[in-house]
Amino acid sequence: MRFLRFTKKKVALVLGISLIAQSLLLHIQPTYAADEKKPAASPSPAAVTTPAPNAGTTPAPALNEPQVAAKSAIIMEASTGAVLFQMNADEAFPPASMAKMMTEYLAMESIKEGKFKWDSPVTATKNAADVIGSGQLIAENETLTFKDMFNAMSIYSANDASVAFAELLGGTEENFAKMMNDKAKQLGMSDKAHFISATGLSRADLKNPPASIEGETKMTARDAAILAYNILKDHKEILEFTKIPSLKLRATDKSPMINWNWMLEGNSTNTNFKKYAYAGLDGLKTGSTDDAGYCFTGTAERNGMRMITVVMGTKTEPERFNETRKLMDYAFNNFEIKPFLNAKQTIDSLKSVNIKKGVQLEVPLVTKTGLTFVARKGAKDTEFKVTTESVEESKLVAPITKGDKLGKVKVNYNGQEKTVDLIADGDVEKGSWIRLLFRSIKNFFSDMFNGIKGGS
């Protein structure tokens, strides 16, 4: 009997050591007891990125939405691309000289890329000098600085200056139109956006219509807003030109070029235009032809919030500005920039994550940056849906450095979705092998005794 008891003890001891060794060999740090006591994390949503401006998300309609006398219209907030109002915004129409926004974009891009400087010379060819429509200020073979030529295009909507830029940047206007179409795709404009010239003139009005490009120049209101959004994001210096009410092209000129944009804030003291002047409005591009009617892409900033509006196909010149005023008033009266999350903020649904093989068992998480939304004035926090997810488990292993991305939080408000990283709010050093060994042994016996207790 004594021999039998001794044998049972030896067997139990051998079995215990065997189980411990097996646990250590398979995973030196198995799931520890703290994991079972920790509340389960929120279900992992699919990965989401901040939507592009062409996503077309629009807050729920309000009772006071404007009634716009135009073929199409849209309001977009300039820092987020959030669409606040839209009317027939995805039907393509001739944009007239609003097409020059793309010519302006490519011209400014060439400056940013170092291909030209603002004092670089630009010479008008006969083809540029002879183009019909607005402008007709520049003679054949006349050379102006890049900046002066840009003044003519952006302030006076000069067709001759626009063609001069097209030939400078593309070799021919036809090649430049291909560049315009390529850039439209890069900027996320729809497949309805189509350019055949640098000016926006109809094919019938072009002396040298492009043989390799079919159709007419067309854009949707959303396309025009996306183009304006990208100009303001990538080349905000455009506003230093478009805000100028009038300017002499040459110092020797008798009369200045008058900006076609009557709504400029700078016109508030102008007898002819002061009734149209709008506080904070400093751009962006007008356009009119028989086919297009009267169009206007406007932008204004008030109280740190910038709006982009587009109206296409109004019947009269004053009407395009009156309808734009409706859109601007609606936007500024009903919406605001609302900070929702702050940088280094803790999110209740994912305050921390468990870390394997570390000195500490977990690390707290905070937001990397803050989040702001364009929200209706008075919007409640309960209108914002928050979801979180951690990175995959294989990345939750020490060492961890403060600032490492370990998760993300997604916030949805009225169709606007934004995501911000959740980062480690501290360091977690890798545990020594002896620490991990004893932790593993401790967890093994804890799991075993909990199993015995639960089974009894």
- The predicted structure's pLDDT at residue 2: 45
* Mean predicted confidence (pLDDT) in 65-78: 97
pLDDT digits (tens, 9 = 90+) for 22-60: 444 444 443 333 333 333 333 322 222 334 454 445 555
Who's near 439: CB < 8 A, 6+ residues apart? 29, 32, 431
pLDDT of 428 higher than 90: no
Q: How many CA atoms lie within 13 A of 316 on its CB side?
A: 3
Residue of 72, 97, 154, 202 with catalytic role: 97
- The predicted structure's pLDDT at residue 449: 58
Residue 128 CB-density burial (10 A; 0-12 exposed, 13-18 middle, 19+ buried): buried
Residues 183, 198 contacting (CB under 8 angstroms) = no
* Mean predicted confidence (pLDDT) in 438-446: 57
What pLDDT band is residue 450 in, cutting at 50, 70 and 90? low
Residues 237 and 282: their CA atoms lie apart, in Å, by 11
Residue of 157, 197, 202, 288 with catalytic role: 157
pLDDT digits (tens, 9 = 90+) for 179-200: 999 999 999 999 999 999 999 9
* Mean predicted confidence (pLDDT) in 425-431: 80
Distances from the Cα of 85 to the Cαs of 58, 190, 322, 383, in angstroms?
A: 6, 18, 17, 19
pLDDT of 337 higher than 80: yes
pLDDT of 444 higher than 70: no
Q: Please confirm whether the linkage preceding 144 is cis (ω < 30° from 0).
A: no
Q: How many CA atoms lie within 13 A of 336 on its CB side?
A: 10
For the question of residue 285 being annotated catalytic, the response is no
- The predicted structure's pLDDT at residue 388: 95
- The predicted structure's pLDDT at residue 437: 53
Structural element, H or E, at residue 5: helix 2-26
What is the DSSP code (8-state) at residue 93? Answer: B
For the question of residue 18 being annotated catalytic, the response is no
Residues 400, 422 contacting (CB under 8 angstroms) = no
Structural element, H or E, at residue 408: strand 405-413
Q: What percent of the chain has pLDDT over 70?
A: 80
For the question of residue 97 being annotated catalytic, the response is yes
Q: How many CA atoms lie within 13 A of 88 on its CB side?
A: 14
**Residue 405: φ, ψ to 5°:** -75, 120
Residue of 100, 243, 356, 408 with catalytic role: 100
- The predicted structure's pLDDT at residue 44: 29
Residues 55 and 57: their CA atoms lie apart, in Å, by 6
pLDDT digits (tens, 9 = 90+) for 79-110: 999 999 999 999 999 999 999 999 999 999 99
Helices marked H in 368-432: none
* Mean predicted confidence (pLDDT) in 63-79: 94
pLDDT of 151 higher than 80: yes
- The predicted structure's pLDDT at residue 234: 98
- The predicted structure's pLDDT at residue 396: 85
- The predicted structure's pLDDT at residue 173: 97
